[in-house]
Structures are given as structure tokens and as C-alpha cells.
Chains A and B, each alone.
Chain A
Amino acid sequence: MSDAVTAVPEVATSSDVASRTLTADAWRTLHRRPDTIVAAVILAFFLFVVAFPGLFTSADPQLCMISQSKIRPQGFGATHPFGTDAFGCDVLAQLAYGARPSLLLALVVVGVSLLIGVVLGLLAGYYLGWVDAVISRSIEVFLVIPLLLAALLLLSLFRNVSVGSGTFNDILLPATVLTMFGWMGYARYIRASVLEARGLDYVTAAKVLGASDVRVMFRHVLPNAIAPVTALVPTSIAGIIGAEAVLAFLGIGVRPPAISWGIMISNGAEWVTGGYPHLLLFPLGCLIATVLSLVVLGDALRDALDPRLR
């Protein structure tokens, strides 16, 4: 929040230049750290897998031959490079196609809740009065019910509602529920920084010059208010990926026959002591690699955007 204050003199001349310098400053800090580069490369790889799973495997993840079940990893070049699971499904194919629901769910949830949070936070902090009262009260109400508990409750309530199949329909229910209980953090942060920014001279100046409310909010207030929230995004994506795994374990997240890393973990967990640890370790490894890169990225972003912690 202090960077919003220190940025005032430059912003007073032109908000564009200031937001660019903050971004440029953050970028300079980021690309000097090798860990961020590694994390970004890993993430880019998994996003590539999400986009084109067919490039990594020729097997069909849904085509399972029970006669070929529980083959141990054979190495690249063989029919089943990462082996097969208890039902004879190819592990590599499942990993590649299972990345899509896991990551897509997290991106959709965080994207939509960020949008809701930013809009509501802006409205509440900018207009105050009854708008703020209503929004703050609903933030408080939703905060009281922890995300995971809400997800358990709603997904078990809506368990029998059929939404059709296809990647987007598979994630529709969990995405809706997780978004419903995931926007409050952003709204609170944005509201707090808008409260700080709305009284500053450059905002008053813009109003005096006759800028409309919408223009003041999005061109002048938001660019300074968004910085602290940006650092939350990678960590929240990581959190949602973890939550998806939990829901899949309980059978109420992404539902079979769709595949996700969470489902693979919950199916594979039982086979570790039976002598097939690869059924757990492959999906778990992918999950941890993704989450770790996101957390590293979030950590670096927090540093780059919050000079007080250096």
C-alpha cells in the first residue's frame, strides 16, 4: 500500500507512466531471479500440455484394457512410458489429458473471482455509503463460511444435478462453488486500497476536470489499487489446484469419467503400499511441480510489488 502513496507525484502528471514504471520495476526485479525463470518455464510447459495434450501421448486416456493393468513404467519409446493404472489406462495419457480440468478449473475460478472482487471492491471503496454497507456485509457473510466447507456443502447438495459432459461442463459445478466463496479476499484488498487512493490529489484533480466516475475508477484509482492483489493471484491458483484434489478425493469435484490430477491421486493412493508407487507419484509430482512454481512466482511477485519486505 505504501507504493501507492509513493507513486503519487508521478501519477499526478500521468497515470499511464506511473503504472508502467511500477510494472517495469517489478519486471526488472523478476527476471533477475533465476528461480522465477525456472518456475515460469515449468508453468509454460504445463500450459502447453493443457493446450495440446495430444502432442505428448498417442494413447487414448479413456481406452483402458483391463488385461494390461498395473504395468510398471517402461520408459520412453515403449507403449506405456509411465505404465498403466489398476484399470489398465495409460498413465501418461491420463496425466496429459488430466492437466486440463485441473488447471482450467483453477484459472477460471481465480479469473472470475478476481473480476468480481475488483468490481465489488471498487464500487464499495469508491461510492461508500449504502453500496459499501451492502458489499462489506456480504463479504463478511461469505468469509464466515470457509471455502472448503462451503464447497463440501454445496457440491454434496448439488451432487445429482446433471450438467452434461465436455471439459467445461465437467468443471462447471466445482468452478461455480469455488468462485462463489473465493472472491472476498480480492474485494477486501481492492476496497482497502481504493479507500486509500480515492482521497488523493490526482483523483480529485481528475474529478475536477470532469472525468466520469467510471473513468476515474478504472483509469486512475484501479491501476494503483491492483498491485497488492496481483501478488495474490499465483498463490490462489495454487490453492484452487489443491482444493480440486481434495474435492476429487471425496468424489464431488471433477467427476469420472473425466480425468483430473486429483482423481488420479485419489485412485493411485491405495496402490503405494501394494507395490505400485508410480500410480501416486506421477500425478502427485505434476501437482507439486505446478503448485511449487506458482508459489515461487507468487513469492517473487510479492517481493517485487511490496518494497517494504525487501
Chain B
Amino acid sequence: MGRYIARRCLQAVLTLFLVVFALHLLTTLAIQLNGNPALAFFGDRVPSATQLAAVEQRYGLADPCFDQPGNPCLGPFVDRVVAYAQGDFGTNLRGRDVTDIVVAAAPNTLRLFCIVTITWLVVGMTLGSVAARWRGKAVDHSVRLTSVLIDAFPVFVLLVVYRYVFSVPLSNWAEDRFGQGSLPALWFRPSFDDAHPWATVLVPGVLLGLAGSAAFVRLVRASQLECYSGEHVRTARAKGLPEHHVITHHVVRNSSVPVVTAVGLTFADALGGAVITEGLMNIYGMGGVLWQAVRASDVSLVVGVVTILSIVTVVVMIVVDIAYAALDPRIRYE
């Protein structure tokens, strides 16, 4: 186990290095094809040569390789890796550290992910178990229909409809019914409120979780069906255990390993969803920062945030792999 973890971590470091290199190559190519991003700093104004040089210096764009298409710019790459290793992910166009921005924004993203994960597990476990228990019956078919319907509404569509169609009437209704500033009124607020982070993140989180839950329903159903036909379940029934005991102890528990690890594996997808959710609902989280940065063409902020999120994804993937090996004794990687 120790050796497996060590090897996996080494692999992850290599992957991380390659990811940073790939991002560097793409960014460099974009700068070479696109012209100088330092110009974005000045907006519509035309800078003098010295002003431009000062900005280029500050964002590390002074190297002449950025003017030669096809040059991989290895010198700036080394500088960049060294800066990353020291925790310096650059600054946005206003000079604020990307690390600062991300640290300030991270708690709201974590809140969102908490709610999303809970929604996944609750919806997935409930519907999936019910469908597996009454396989082939009407319940099973309606659960399947529900999961198809859920799949058919991408996160983006769900949130656009909620934000622009339902949120305002619902929050007006809640304010009339329960009073201004009451909890239900906060739930349905069309935008994020720093003073009530949990309440205003709740509904977007549930919607994002719902949009991703179809995969969980299918996964839970499939893995429980496998359990139902297993020998240990037949044994448990044969020795006369009551059905509810068989289900809770022998089916649900045994089938939950792939489900728990799937939470980690869908993390990358959920990050994309979080960007959409936070952007549309004005939640000040990492995704929201990225969304605003894209709108404002703040390229250095976009590069910084995407790099940080990729690092987080790599770490989550290792944790998932290790958890998988630890939870399921049948799996051994050598």
C-alpha cells in the first residue's frame, strides 16, 4: 500500500508538470499568434513604448521568444515553474495576487461543492436503490425516465431558466409570504449575498447537484443490481435475515464503494458546472472569478485560476485512487 501511494504521488507530480507545460505552450502560442496581451492592460488607449515595456516586464512578457511563432519559450517556462513552486501565480490586470483572489473565493466554492455532493448522494442513493429494489417494475421505469429527463437539461439551461424565469417571482412570493430577510426569501434570491453565504448558495447548489445526479442514479442502480445477484446476498436471505436487513447491510453497504469514489471522479465535470453556476448566479467563488475574468478578458487571471484548479483536480484524483484502493480490498495495484 505504501509503495502504491508513493508511486501514485510521483506519477501525479509528473502529470502536474506536463499539465503546466501544456498550459504554457498553449498560452505562448496564443500570445505569438494573437499579439501582445500587455496591450489589454491599456484598454483603448495607445501606450508609449516605455509604458508597454514596463507592463511587459511586470507580466514576464519581455522575452523576445513571444514574438517568434513556434518557439516553445523554455526560458519563461522555467521562470514560471519556479514562481508556481513559490506559490506565486501572477496577478490580475489590477495587480492583485491571483493566490489572494482564489483564497478569498475558495470558501464559497467549497460550500457549493458540499451542497452538490449531498444532493448527488441523496438523489442518487434514493432513486438508484428504489430502482434496483423494484427492478423492471413501474418504479424502475419512472426512475429511468426521470434520469433521462435530468440528463436532457444541461446545468446551463437549468440555471438560465431558474435565474431568469423563476427566481424573481419566487423571491417576491417568499418575501410577501414569509417577510423580507426571512430564510425562504434568501433561498430564492437571484444573486449571491456575502452576508448569508449558505442560504444564497443553497438553491444553485441543489440545481447543479440535480443536473449531475442522473449518472449517480444509474451507477447506484447498476452496482446494487450486481449485489442483488451476488452469492453473499443469497446466503443472507437463506439464513433468514429480514429483507430490510439484507438491503441495508449487504446490498447498500457493499455497493457504495464505487459510488463514493465516483464523487471524486466526477469532480472535474463538477468544476465546469461550478463555473457556470457561480458565473450565472454571481457567486463569489473560484468559478465566479473565472467567469468574470473571461468576460473582462483578464487573461493572466484566467491562466492563474485554471492552473490552480488543475492542480486541485490532480490532487483530488490521487486521493480518489488511494481511497479506492483502501476501501476495496479486492483491488490491488502492483
List residues of A whose CB falls within 8 A of some B CB.
137-138, 140-150, 152-154, 156-161, 235, 238-239, 242, 245-246, 249-252, 265, 269-270, 272-273, 277, 280, 284, 287-288, 291-292, 295-296, 299, 308-309
Contacts and interface: CB of A to CB of B under 8 A. Distances in A.
Contacts of A308: 222
12 contacts: A142-B22, A148-B272, A149-B271, A152-B306, A156-B294, A159-B297, A245-B157, A288-B153, A291-B157, A295-B152, A299-B151, A309-B225
Given A153-B302, A299-B151, 14 more contacts: A146-B313, A148-B273, A149-B306, A149-B310, A156-B302, A157-B31, A157-B34, A235-B151, A239-B154, A250-B294, A250-B295, A292-B152, A295-B152, A296-B152
B165 A149 contact: no
The SS class assigned to the B binding surface is: helix
Nearest to A149: B306
Contacts of A246: 156, 276
Contact of A287 (B22, B157, B303): B157
Contacts of A141: 15, 18-19, 22
Given A141-B18, A284-B160, A288-B153, A157 B272 contact: no
Nearest to A143: B268
Nearest to B222: A309
Contact of A288 (B18, B152, B269, B303): B152
Contacts of B276: 148, 246
Contacts of B122: none
Nearest to B314: A144
A255 B52 CA distance: 29
A299 B27 CA distance: 38
Interface of B: 14-16, 18-19, 22-23, 26-27, 30-31, 33-35, 144, 148-149, 151-157, 160-161, 163-165, 168, 222, 225, 268-269, 271-273, 275-276, 279, 290-291, 293-295, 297, 299, 302-303, 306, 309-310, 313-314, 317
A245 B159 CA distance: 12
Contacts of A239: 154
A236 B173 CA distance: 39
Nearest to B272: A148
B165 A280 contact: yes
B110 to A, nearest CB: 17
Given A144-B268, A291-B154, A160 B290 contact: no
Contacts, number: 142
Contacts of B19: 141, 144-145
A295 B306 contact: no
A7 B60 CA distance: 59
A20 B150 CA distance: 33
Most buried by A among B152, B155, B164: B152
A273 B275 contact: no
Contact of B148 (A148, A160, A296): A296
Contacts of B290: 149, 152
A143 B149 CA distance: 27
Give the residue among A140, A157, A280, A292 with the most B Cβ atoms within 10 A: A157
B302 A152 contact: yes
A208 B163 CA distance: 63
Sort A-B residue pairs by CB-CB distance and give the 9 closest, nearest first.
Answer: A242-B154, A148-B272, A157-B30, A292-B152, A146-B268, A295-B151, A269-B164, A141-B18, A146-B272
A146 B163 CA distance: 25
Contacts of B22: 141-142, 145
A146 B269 contact: yes
Contacts of B155: 242
A145 B294 CA distance: 16
A251 B133 CA distance: 47
Nearest to A245: B156
Contacts of B144: 299
